[in-house]
Structure 1
Amino acid sequence: MRTFRAVLAAAAVALLVLLAPPTPAWAHAKLVKSDPADGATVSAPLTAVTFTFNEPVKQQFSTVVVTGPDGISYSDGTPKSVDKTLTQSVKPLPAGAIKVAWRTVSVDGHPIEGQLTFTNAAPAPTTTAPSSPPPATSAAPATASAATPTVGTGPASSDSGASGLLWVVLGVVAVALVLGGGAVWWRRSRTG
């Protein structure tokens, strides 16, 4: 009888562990703030756009496209990630509405994305166009190809989520087997 109680107690503890809420490590990164903020008006020249998340993001899968009112991309190089901040350098921006589209990957492998718009009211830059060629069509494929590795991480994020689900299912099956085995043992011990 003591063995049955011990098995039952162990099964109850295992069940409680499995039903406990997931740890924060399974949560996806969330954007906490951006500089400039969505809808802001900027009066000083910008050299970068920054995003602050609640947890680190993967730099190698991050893309940020900063587009001026002329449809030209003003992103300068690739974004850099330090701790929980993702920074995209920008070329001198023209006056007007600036659109920023970003995409990155949480440390858990989940892709996240968003966009914002701000108004650039800073004095006009000394050069009227960025140093790269102006065709907007050449900037769009570069952005799409930079985002291609992120698409490749989609299955990885699904795999990590599926892996967690697999462990939960295996845990439930193990608890069921322990309870079933305990019940069979208990019946045999009572009849024998």
Structure 2
Amino acid sequence: MRLHATLRATLAAAAAAFLVMLLPAQPAWAHAKLVKTDPAGGATVSAPLTAVVFTFNEMVKQQFSTVVVTGADGVSYSDGTPKSVDKTLTQPVKPLPAGAIKVVWRTVSGDGHPLEGQFTFTNAAPAPTSAAPTSAAPATSAAPVVPDTPTPTVATDRTGDSSDDSGLLWVILGAVAVVLVLAGGAVWWRRRTPDQG
């Protein structure tokens, strides 16, 4: 009987140890994984691209996600921060130059596990025309009109005149006050003098 009890206790301890070893491995199975990217790694893009899209098998944390899209010139063409919706992470991009484009990304899955990677694709889309921005530039430069500048000058001159007028008014009031004080003092002195005599 004691042998059976010892055997059962040993088997129970072994089963418990096996479960303890198995439980930490479960979160690793639940890590998010990158399913696909648009454009795909090694692809050639022939239409103008506005964003790079990542699709995962589960949601990722937007606040911990970074995507850097660089051209062959080494300049970053990422436009703002990536946005996470459902299982996709979207990084807007500025107009890309022709040639090899490198994408380096990093994010965090829902269980806190970091994910990162990189890939390249080729941009064969035609470069955006610069005619529209150049034609718009003279319109903005012609916007300031010269006659607008004299208006503030006239306003400042008027404020200067009003300050001069107020200064002159204070001088006149001060002079009147001095005259009144002197006249009052003279009257008081005349009334006081007969009383002493």
Interval containing the TM-score (normalised by the shorter chain):
0.5 to 0.7
TM-score by length of 1: 0.57
Distance (whole Å) between structure 1 residues aligned to residue 41 and residue 117 of structure 2: 11
Q: Which amino acid aligns with 1:50?
A: V
Q: Secondary structure at the match of 2:42?
A: coil
Q: Which residue of 2 aligns with 1:29?
A: 32
Distance (whole Å) between structure 2 residues aligned to residue 119 and residue 127 of structure 1: 22
Distance (whole Å) between structure 2 residues aligned to residue 61 and residue 78 of structure 1: 10
Seen in structure 2, the aligned counterparts of structure 1 residues 76 and 14 have a Cα distance that, compared at 3 Å, is: same
Structure 2 counterpart of 1:104, from 107, 113, 122: 107
Distance (whole Å) between structure 2 residues aligned to residue 71 and residue 19 of structure 1: 47
Distance (whole Å) between structure 2 residues aligned to residue 124 and residue 96 of structure 1: 11
8 Å CA contact retained: 1:26, 1:108: no
Q: Which residue of 2 aligns with 1:71?
A: 74
TM-score by length of 2: 0.56
Structure 2 counterpart of 1:46, from 46, 49, 53: 49
Higher relative contact order by CA 8 Å / sep ≥ 6: 1 or 2?
1
Q: Secondary structure at the match of 1:102?
A: strand
Q: By how many angstroms is 1:108 displaced?
A: 2.7
Q: Secondary structure at the match of 1:123?
A: coil
Residues 121-140 of structure 1 mapped to structure 2, 5 A cutoff: 121-127=124-130
Looking at secondary structure, tell me which structure has more helix per residue: 2
Distance (whole Å) between structure 2 residues aligned to residue 78 and residue 20 of structure 1: 38
Q: Calculate the aligned-residue CA RMSD, in Å.
A: 2.5
Q: Which amino acid aligns with 1:16?
A: F
Q: Which residue of 1 aligns with 2:22?
A: 20
Residues 142-153 of structure 1 mapped to structure 2, 5 A cutoff: none
Structure 1: which 5+ residue stretches go unaligned?
Answer: 129-192
**Identical aligned residues as a percent:** 73
Distance (whole Å) between structure 1 residues aligned to residue 11 and residue 79 of structure 2: 60
8 Å CA contact retained: 1:104, 1:111: yes
Distance (whole Å) between structure 2 residues aligned to residue 76 and residue 127 of structure 1: 19
